[in-house]
Chain A
């Protein structure tokens, strides 16, 4: 029996953008407000899971051609790289630095290397959750 999923698919197309925007907001708000890499990554993978529910796995793999196992490696590399960055400037491992930069478009911005570490957490969380869900989901 051919199922007709047009309502679910249309609503998914709209809501996925809202969820991903909110997860990016959670990720960047993490330094001053509740949020951070873990919740942001979980919510991004939640958006991808919603896509997987509404469409089949091949379609989602065409839209997002990402190998999530590579994403885990890239995230761990980010985390270790920010840790090793402290060693270059004669400081202990995982020493973070912080500075105020006047960017051309964004104005006065405070940049912290903890954001790079958080990016690593973000990527690892997306990679792990999507790897778990995809390996359970595919049964060929």
Chain B
């Protein structure tokens, strides 16, 4: 039983480290802010969460220590990290950072243009 859980916690930590590495490669390789942010916020979130879960399983099985702070950390990262990604992306879009030149679709630009038109008509 202990051996199985040793294997599970090791596998979780390795998966988490691999996902964090993938996130780092994504940040280096991808072309613009939005795709980089997509790589960093998703992959790194899942990576850190699996590392924490592996640590939790390790300490629970090896030392019989239920560390509720790790659970709280997993929940906290799961809530906050995507919101941080969303806010960074939105700040980039609002300050006029261009999309990658091969992008084909920008629904937000159309929505912003229509909203600005509406505001202009109301003011006139």
Contact = CB atoms under 8 A, between A and B. Distances in A.
Nearest to A53: B87
B97 interface: no
B41 to A, nearest CB: 13
B38 interface: no
Interface string B66-77: 000100100110
A18 B79 CA distance: 11
Interface of B: 69, 72, 75-76, 79-80, 83, 86-87
Contacts of A14: 79
Contact of A11 (B72, B75, B79): B79
Contacts of B75: 18
A7 B72 contact: no
Contacts of A8: 83, 87
A14 B83 CA distance: 12
Contact of B86 (A7, A15, A18): A7
Q: How large is the interface on A (under 10, 10 to 19, 20 to 34, 35 or more residues)?
A: under 10
A93 interface: no
A15 B79 contact: yes
A11 B86 CA distance: 12
Contacts of B80: 11, 15
Contacts of A11: 79-80, 83
A137 to B, nearest CB: 19
B83 A7 contact: yes
Nearest to B119: A1
A18 B76 contact: yes
A22 B83 contact: no
A43 to B, nearest CB: 12
A14 B69 CA distance: 17
